[in-house]
Amino acid sequence: MSRLTIRHKTEYRYAHPVAFGEHRIMLRPRDGHDLRVLSGDLAIEPPPMSLRWIHDVFGNSVAIATFDERSDRLTVISTATVEHNPAEEFALTPDDPAYFYPFLYDEDEFADLVQYITPHYSDPQGELSAWARNFLDAEAPTPTYRILSGMTHGIREAFTYRKRLEQGTQHPLDTLQTGSGTCRDYALFMIEALRRLGIAARFVSGYLFVPSEESPGHLGGGSTHAWVQVYLPSAGWIEFDPTNGIVGSRDLIRVAVARDPHQAIPLHGTYLGPADAFIGMQVGIRVVPAEQAVEA
């Protein structure tokens, strides 16, 4: 068990004072038996006219800020200290209903999982389906863990991580055809591949904690991160990070879960003014042991 402090600062700069529309802020870690929020603070400058908190359709904490004054910059600083108790890497036994693939979901659970099982992106030539089937044994059944671990490590080893200037998450076929993408692209690609096998999967947005003895090639530290949760009968939602090859919640600090990446954007809002007024955005993130927390 460890205590970590996350400080996430975002600053938008403009050529002259502009008015701000509504901003939705999804930065508060998501409480659970393996992650407990000990303290949290959200500082916004200029101060919003109103700030209210809601739980969205997935139960994520969302702050909604509205403004009544103009400024040439907008700064949002979220600071949270959490107690992180990652579960041990899961292991299925032959007695578990999902030990082998294919498996069946309980009828009651299936009704709630159907949106996480149904593919949401086109695959007209069946390329995603063919890629997913590569992880099945020639003769059924296949151990389910082998499929999930194989995909997680297969993406990390075969694809090239790259940052993109374009906003949003690219289509899974673009990730497959270019063999590259961001952590959000990787997560969506793996989710859609799993859904084509009838396995429930959803998107997770959060942070990656990289200890000081960071291993070479460990990606995602110092920025927001994204990965996958897979639902298995009797095991529940299990984390898989195809960017770093992580199985389980080790080093992963969950903030939001969603059916699709566009539903888990950390900070989203608008300003009222000419397009050329926007100069740029700067983001700074620190995830450190609580006793080492300092101003970024």
Distances (CA, A) of 148 to 37, 53, 65, 214, 255: 29, 35, 39, 25, 22
What pLDDT is stored for residue 294 in this prediction?
A: 52
How many angstroms separate the CA atoms of 74 and 22, rounded? 12
Alpha-carbon gap, residue 204 to 258, rounded angstroms = 6
Torsion, Cα of 238, 215, 161, 12 (10° steps): 90
Nearest to residue 113, comparing CAs of 123, 103, 122? 103
Q: From CA 198, how far away is CA 244, in angstroms rounded?
A: 24
- Architecture of domain 100-250 in this structure: Roll (3.10)
CA 151/CA 145 separation, integer angstroms: 10
CA dist 193 and 219 (Å) reads 22
Instruction: Determine the pLDDT at residue 249.
Output: 84
User: Given this model, what pLDDT does residue 296 score?
Assistant: 44
Per-residue pLDDT at 295: 47
- Which residue positions in the chain have pLDDT lower than 50? 215-221, 295-296
Per-residue model confidence (pLDDT) at position 72: 97
Write out the residue limits of the CATH 3.10.620.30 domain(s) in the chain.
Answer: 100-250
Q: Which fold has domain 2-84+264-292?
A: Immunoglobulin-like (2.60.40)
Residue 69: the pLDDT is 95
Reported pTM = 0.93
Location of each CATH 2.60.40.2250 domain in the chain: 2-84+264-292
Measured distance CA(24)–CA(65) in Å, rounded: 7
